[in-house]
Amino acid sequence: AQEWLAPFVIFTARFGGKGESSLSRQNLKSVLKQVFCLVSGAGVTTEKRGGAFGKGRPIGLGIQAEQVDALRAEAQVWMPQKRAPEDLVGRTVGGERIVKQPDRGPFDTSNGWLLNHPLMKIRLYCEHLDELKEMGHEATMRRLTGDGAWQAAGGDGAAR
């Protein structure tokens, strides 16, 4: 069992949105469905193509940002978004160069919710854990919540 999943869910719900804001219930549900498939090694499937992305390659805690980005690039080749994420353009995966607007499908019509966003949430959480190690819990939570909000909550993260 992956004991990091519960803290991941809590962190992603609270800070996984744009600009480290909370993630909507629907977006959280969408992300978690895919993350669970990736973490279990079952892989992510879609009706648009055969096979499962990441099948037999479970993602574990401790994956580095560059490894997540390599998976995102692989996902862009496997089921391309109509517009590739800027940071992936120019990468090569399996001899295929990622371009801004791929000319072949089938395409990920979910605007990245199939694989890109779930993988980015894993990356964000791993970066959060790295920051905790480097800066400490108090400093990290102050940065995420703003000094006043963290102090008003009692500084220990407990719900009040």
| Phi/psi at 57 (5° precision) | -130, 70
Find the helix packing angle between 5-15 and 25-40, rounded to 10°: 150
Residue 81's alpha-carbon distances to 109, 112, 139, in angstroms, are 7, 6, 36
pLDDT, tens only, 49-64: 999 999 999 998 878 8
> Helix, strand, or coil here: 3?
coil
Residue type, 115: L
Q: What is the DSSP letter of 99?
A: -
pLDDT, tens only, 13-26: 999 888 888 899 99
Neighbouring CB atoms inside 10 A of 72's CB total 25
pLDDT, tens only, 62-111: 788 899 999 999 999 999 999 999 999 999 999 999 999 999 889 999 99
Strand partners, 97: 92
Neighbouring CB atoms inside 10 A of 123's CB total 19
Find the helix packing angle between 65-78 and 116-135, rounded to 10°: 180
Q: Report which of 4, 33, 1 is spatially closest to residue 129, judged by C-alpha positions.
A: 4
